Amino acid sequence: MGYFSCNAESATAICDSYNFDIKRKPNNKPIEIREFPYDDLVAATNGFSADSFLGKGSHGSVYKAILDDGKLVAAVKRMKYPKQTTSLARRSCTTCVAAENEIEILSRVRHPRLVNLIGFCPDSNDGKLIVVEYMPNGTLHDLLHSRPRPPGWTRRVRLILHVAKAVQALHSSNPPVIHRDIKSSNVLIDGDWTARLGDLGLALRGHVEDVRVRCTPPAGTLGYLDPGYLAPGDLSAKSDVFSFGILLLEIVSGRNAIDVNYSPPSVIDWALPIIKHGEYASICDRRIGPPAESAVIRQLAVLAARCVRSTAEKRPSMAEVVECLTVVNERVHAPIWNSLKRRVRRVEEEEEHRPSFVDGGGHDLEEVVRSTRGSRRKLNRKVSSVLGAEYEGEDEAMIGERVLRSRSIGSVNEIKAGSGGGVRKGVGVAVKVRLSKSRSVGAVLGSPKIVRRNKRGFLIESVRLDMSKLVISLDGERSDRKMLEKPLVSI
- State yes or no: residue 135 binds ligand ATP (CB under 6 A): yes
Residues forming the active site? 181
> Among residues 1 and 430, whose Cβ is nearest to ligand ATP?
1
Q: Is the dihedral of CA 175, 180, 181, 183 positive or negative?
A: positive
- Calpha distance 111→162 (Å, rounded): 11
Please indicate if the annotation marks 341 as binding a ligand. no
> Among residues 130 and 305, whose Cβ is nearest to ligand ATP?
130
What is the SS3 assignment for 190? coil
Q: Closest distance between ligand ATP and the C-beta of residue 188, in Å?
A: 5
Q: Is the dihedral of CA 157, 481, 410, 374 positive or negative?
A: positive
**Among 132, 178, 318, 368, interactor with ligand ATP by CB under 6 A:** 132
User: Quick one: which segment of 129-137, 208-216, 226-234, 308-316 binds ligand ATP (CB under 6 A)?
Assistant: 129-137
**Among 45, 52, 168, 185, interactor with ligand ATP by CB under 6 A:** 185
465 backbone dihedrals φ, ψ, rounded to 5°: -85, 125
Angle at CA of residue 454, ends 451 and 457, nearest 5°: 95
- State yes or no: residue 442 binds ligand ATP (CB under 6 A): no
**Among 94, 95, 139, 372, interactor with ligand ATP by CB under 6 A:** 139
List strand residue ranges (DSSP E) for 273-401, in order: none
Cα 118–chain centre separation: 21
Contacts of 395 (CB under 8 A, 6+ apart): 143, 147, 149, 150, 151, 152, 155
> Among residues 224 and 391, whose Cβ is nearest to ligand ATP?
224
Q: Closest distance between ligand ATP and the C-beta of residue 198, in Å?
A: 6
Q: Closest distance between ligand ATP and the C-beta of residue 73, in Å?
A: 9
Which residues, 42 to 81, sit near ligand ATP by CB under 6 A?
54-59, 62, 75, 77
> Among residues 57 and 265, whose Cβ is nearest to ligand ATP?
57
Contacts of 328 (CB under 8 A, 6+ apart): 157, 161, 296, 299, 300, 303
Site string for ligand ATP, 251-290 (x = CB under 6 A): ----------------------------------------
Which residues, 75 to 114, sit near ligand ATP by CB under 6 A?
75, 77
Q: Closest distance between ligand ATP and the C-beta of residue 142, in Å?
A: 7
Question: Which parts of 61-139 fold into alpha helices (H)?
Answer: 87-90, 94-106
**Among 76, 106, 115, 257, interactor with ligand ATP by CB under 6 A:** 115
> Among residues 59 and 405, whose Cβ is nearest to ligand ATP?
59
Residues in the chain: 491
> Among residues 80 and 402, whose Cβ is nearest to ligand ATP?
80
- State yes or no: residue 376 binds ligand ATP (CB under 6 A): no
List strand residue ranges (DSSP E) for 268-316, in order: none
Closest to 240 (Cα-Cα) out of 356, 319, 331: 319
Q: Closest distance between ligand ATP and the C-beta of residue 477, in Å?
A: 21
Query: Number of residues in contact with ligand ATP, rule: CB under 6 A?
Result: 23
> Among residues 184 and 253, whose Cβ is nearest to ligand ATP?
184
What is the SS3 assignment for 396? coil
Is residue 315 within 8 Å of residue 306, measured between CB atoms? yes
Of all residues in the shown chain, the one whose CB is closest to ligand ATP is 57
Site string for ligand ATP, 189-228 (x = CB under 6 A): ---------xx-----------------------------
Q: Closest distance between ligand ATP and the C-beta of residue 110, in Å?
A: 15
Question: Which parts of 77-222 fold into alpha helices (H)?
Answer: 87-90, 94-106, 140-145, 153-171, 211-215
**Among 16, 66, 116, 138, interactor with ligand ATP by CB under 6 A:** 138
Residue 36 burial (C-beta neighbours within 10 Å; 0-12, 13-18, 19+): buried
DSSP 436: -
List strand residue ranges (DSSP E) for 155-279, in order: 177-178, 187-189, 195-197, 204-205
User: Quick one: which segment of 120-128, 133-141, 204-212, 319-327 binds ligand ATP (CB under 6 A)?
Assistant: 133-141
Is residue 110 within 8 Å of residue 21, measured between CB atoms? no
- Calpha distance 361→357 (Å, rounded): 11
> Among residues 138 and 228, whose Cβ is nearest to ligand ATP?
138
**Among 96, 188, 237, 300, interactor with ligand ATP by CB under 6 A:** 188
How many Cα atoms sit within 13 Å of 42 on the Cβ side? 6
Q: Closest distance between ligand ATP and the C-beta of residue 2, in Å?
A: 8
- Calpha distance 357→423 (Å, rounded): 7
Binding residues for ligand ATP, per CB under 6 A?
A: 1, 5, 54-59, 62, 75, 77, 115, 132-135, 138-139, 185-186, 188, 198-199
User: Which residues are known binding-site members?
Assistant: 77
The binding site for ATP comprises 77
